[in-house]
A = this chain, B = another copy of it.
Amino acid sequence: MTTLARSNRVRRTWWTDAVDAAGCTAYTVYNRMMLPAAFEGAAVDCAHLKRAVQVWDVACERQVEITGPDADTLMQRLTPRDLMQLDADQCAYVPICNHDGGMLNDPVALKPRPDTWWVSLADGELRLWIEGMAEAGGYGVQVFEADVQPLAIQGPLSDDLAARVFGEEIRALRFFRHGRFPFRGRPMLISRTGYSKQGGFEIYVEREADAMPLWDALMEAGSDLDVRAGCPNLIERIEGGMLSYGNDMTDLDTPFELGLDKFVQRYDCIGGDALRDHVSDRRIMAVEMDGPLPICDRRWPILADGTRIGVITSAAYSLDYGCGVAIGMVDRRWDAGQGVEIVTQDGSKTGRLRERFWR
């Protein structure tokens, strides 16, 4: 356990002071910005997230804005997902691949207005990929990091909290759809999305002047709902099989290997030829692990009968399931139920491959 050295380079968000004051005990750095990682500890935070409602500072989900007459064309060039089929109010999970079909990022994209995309980044370098593409390809667009800072509301009581602050109409917002809802008389762009399986919303805050009033309004309106400051929870996301760019995938993994087949809908994009010809011999699987686990801060080899068959990319201990929950990239020749040995920095652990995640 070591301190995170703070500097100007590791960017604060509009809520960092509030997050500190709320008792954040650990941060990580995500897109060169502060992302809270723990308050009372992963297990306590997880139990609360599943029971009540949390407000998350996810400003580090940086928005790359692509705007101009060629925005749709460039965006479609970037992803194998067919964007023409989207409704205007839809949020789209869009795998972005390199020339070889490797994943460069797995953002959620939406159009706040015609001819403009916001690409909500996972941790990575995607902005300059898009800028470089626009520059070298001569697209009629501007590409920049918009100073939009998302704040998430997550947990089973999210609808109740959101309705109190933004009005009852927000309850009708469908999954992965966005709309504008009033806060203090101004329309805020809000989507029913978020990095948990507990339900909730992400609010795309566009002005610093709205940031702390919104935080305070949520905390005040939710006091009887036991609302707390929170953050993406490692245990909860692994139980739910939510992948994390940089942990569970890099540019050496293709959408097919990550189980993202359904988002590969056309091949006239960068990496399309590689994706069309792709034959993958490994896949993401859930892996149950026995006993207490160290922090998964490196890839753990998975052995079956002494042979290396894959790696664990994320792991944590789940109180709810009474076992270690983990995500692994595993050779396709091995099936669910297979007993495995996992080599951690604290020695070998036993476990078994699973067909599905826990939730």
- A: which residues have CB within 8 A of B? 1-10, 12, 20, 24-29, 32, 37-38, 98-99, 104, 123-133, 135-137, 234, 244-247, 270, 295-299, 313-314
| Closest 6 A/B residue pairs (Cβ) | A132-B132, A9-B246, A5-B37, A136-B136, A125-B125, A128-B129
A76 to nearest B CB, angstroms?
Answer: 15
Cα A4 to Cα B38 with chains together (Å):
10
Query: What would 6 more interface pairs be, CB under 8 Å, given A6-B295, A7-B314, A104-B128?
Result: A4-B26, A4-B28, A5-B26, A7-B296, A8-B299, A126-B128
The closest CB in chain B to the CB of A135 belongs to: B99
Q: What are 6 A-B pairs with beta-carbon distances under 8 A?
A: A5-B28, A8-B298, A8-B299, A124-B125, A129-B131, A129-B132
The closest CB in chain B to the CB of A105 belongs to: B128
Q: Indicate whether A8 sits within 8 Å of B128 (C-beta atoms), given known contacts A1-B3, A270-B135.
A: no
Q: Indicate whether A4 sits within 8 Å of B32 (C-beta atoms), given known contacts A128-B126, A135-B133.
A: no
- Asked whether A4 lies within 8 Å of B3 as measured between CB atoms, the reply is yes
Q: Name the B residues within 8 Å of A297 (CB-CB).
A: 6-8, 10, 12
Q: Name the B residues within 8 Å of A234 (CB-CB).
A: 7
Q: B7, B123, B295: which contacts A247 (Cβ < 8 A)?
A: B7
Q: Name the B residues within 8 Å of A128 (CB-CB).
A: 104, 124-129, 132
- Asked whether A9 lies within 8 Å of B133 as measured between CB atoms, the reply is no
Cα A115 to Cα B206 with chains together (Å):
45
- Asked whether B26 lies within 8 Å of A3 as measured between CB atoms, the reply is yes
A102 to nearest B CB, angstroms?
Answer: 10
Cα A257 to Cα B28 with chains together (Å):
32
Q: Name the B residues within 8 Å of A130 (CB-CB).
A: 132
Q: Name the B residues within 8 Å of A1 (CB-CB).
A: 3
The closest CB in chain B to the CB of A9 belongs to: B246
A159 to nearest B CB, angstroms?
Answer: 29
Q: Name the B residues within 8 Å of A135 (CB-CB).
A: 98-99, 132-133, 136, 270
- Asked whether B4 lies within 8 Å of A4 as measured between CB atoms, the reply is yes
A344 to nearest B CB, angstroms?
Answer: 12
- Asked whether B28 lies within 8 Å of A2 as measured between CB atoms, the reply is no
The closest CB in chain B to the CB of A6 belongs to: B297
Cα A299 to Cα B125 with chains together (Å):
23
A295 to nearest B CB, angstroms?
Answer: 5
Q: B24, B25, B247, B270: which contacts A8 (Cβ < 8 A)?
A: B247
- Asked whether B2 lies within 8 Å of A3 as measured between CB atoms, the reply is yes
A60 to nearest B CB, angstroms?
Answer: 12
Q: Name the B residues within 8 Å of A314 (CB-CB).
A: 7-8
A166 to nearest B CB, angstroms?
Answer: 30
- Asked whether B8 lies within 8 Å of A27 as measured between CB atoms, the reply is no
- Asked whether A26 lies within 8 Å of B2 as measured between CB atoms, the reply is yes
Q: B3, B12, B137: which contacts A136 (Cβ < 8 A)?
A: B137
- Asked whether B9 lies within 8 Å of A244 as measured between CB atoms, the reply is yes
Q: Indicate whether A123 sits within 8 Å of B9 (C-beta atoms), given known contacts A29-B29, A131-B129, A133-B132.
A: yes
A144 to nearest B CB, angstroms?
Answer: 9
Q: Name the B residues within 8 Å of A99 (CB-CB).
A: 135
The winner among A9, A24, A37, A124 for most chain B CB atoms within 10 A is A9
